[in-house]
Chains A and B, each alone.
Chain A
Amino acid sequence: MARAAAATDVFTAIAEAHRREILDALVAGERPVGAIVDVLHLAQPQVSKHLRILSDVGLVTCRAEGRRRLYRLNHERLRPLHDWMGKYERALSERLDRMDDYLEDLQGRERVR
């Protein structure tokens, strides 16, 4: 399972649809593996692999309660994603501001003529 190491950060981890579904399933709170399996309609070994990847990048944490393993979302690790979206939004906004300035320059020039 060397490929399991492929997801090295939050972004790669959430690039896979089933892993996003797992995160969705955990938004409401802590859940045992069985409950996640029920939501995803995937075989338990596959769900476990996905959970391991999410756990490796710190997006979920796990604790044992008797024989059950309970998974929960680590909201703090979602912060890089929020930061990235904020950065993306700023950069896009700045580009549109440059376009705005340029349009204004163009129209100013026309008025002078």
Chain B
Amino acid sequence: MKGTRHGSATVEFPSEREVLATRQFDAPAELVFDVLTKPEHVRVWFAARPLEVCEIDLRVGGEYHFEGFIMDEDVMTCSFRGTYLEIERPVRTVATWVFEGRPEADAVERVELHETDGVTTMTTRLTFKDLSTRDSITWSAPDGVHLADGAQEADDRLEDYLATLA
């Protein structure tokens, strides 16, 4: 019976810096972990069309790079890169997630898998970094001017980034 769990994901915004998604899969955690971390799998399901670039170096400090038409209505390809910070097969990966290869880490994504009776619950917590730092830097300007150029760019990036994440 295909698609019985379709639309069952819950997506929450626990704070202004976080997005938390929870979803169950009728598969063992080992397999879910493989599907999340092996390029031959990710290439197929990640976007509506197969990714053009899908490279994964699954080790702490290793990098991944996805590129393709991420959303259905995309007219150009989008690129994501990141670095693995933690890997514990088959229960957890923590990685930075940077849109368009920006050198600084825009967010950290923490994926956790928990298997019960052959059903694996996956939680994905995306935490944006540097919002508070950015705000404090913005407001250190003595004349109280509005967003500094860098902060404005960061805001634009954040918006672009959010729009292409899903």
Q: Which residues of A contact B (CB under 8 A)?
A: 1, 3-4, 6-7, 11-12, 15-18, 20, 43, 45-46, 49, 53, 85, 87-104, 106-107
- A105 to chain B: closest CB distance in Å? 9
CB–CB A96/B27 < 8 A: no
**B window 111-166: CB within 8 A of A:** 122, 131-132, 135, 138-139, 144-147, 152, 155-156, 158-159, 162, 165-166
- Give chain A's interface secondary structure class: helix
Given A17-B135, A99-B25, also A89-B146 (CB < 8 A):
no
CB–CB B9/A107 < 8 A: no
Q: What are 7 A-B interface contacts by the 8 Å CB criterion?
A: A7-B147, A43-B144, A89-B9, A97-B5, A98-B45, A100-B6, A104-B2
- A34 to chain B: closest CB distance in Å? 18
Docked pose: A88 CA to B11 CA in angstroms: 9
- B49 to chain A: closest CB distance in Å? 11
- What B residues does A43 contact at CB under 8 A? 144
- B64 to chain A: closest CB distance in Å? 16
- B79 to chain A: closest CB distance in Å? 17
- B130 to chain A: closest CB distance in Å? 12
Interface range for B: 35 or more
- What B residues does A6 contact at CB under 8 A? 146-147, 152
- What A residues does B44 contact at CB under 8 A? 102
| Nearest-neighbor residue (CB-CB) of A88 within chain B | B166
- A92 to chain B: closest CB distance in Å? 4
CB–CB B16/A20 < 8 A: yes
Out of A20, A90, A101, name the residue touching B2 (CB < 8 Å).
A101
CB–CB B45/A102 < 8 A: yes
With A16-B138, A88-B165, A104-B27 already in contact, 9 other A-B pairs whose C-beta atoms are closer than 8 Å: A6-B146, A12-B152, A49-B146, A88-B166, A92-B11, A97-B6, A97-B7, A106-B35, A106-B41
- What A residues does B2 contact at CB under 8 A? 101, 104
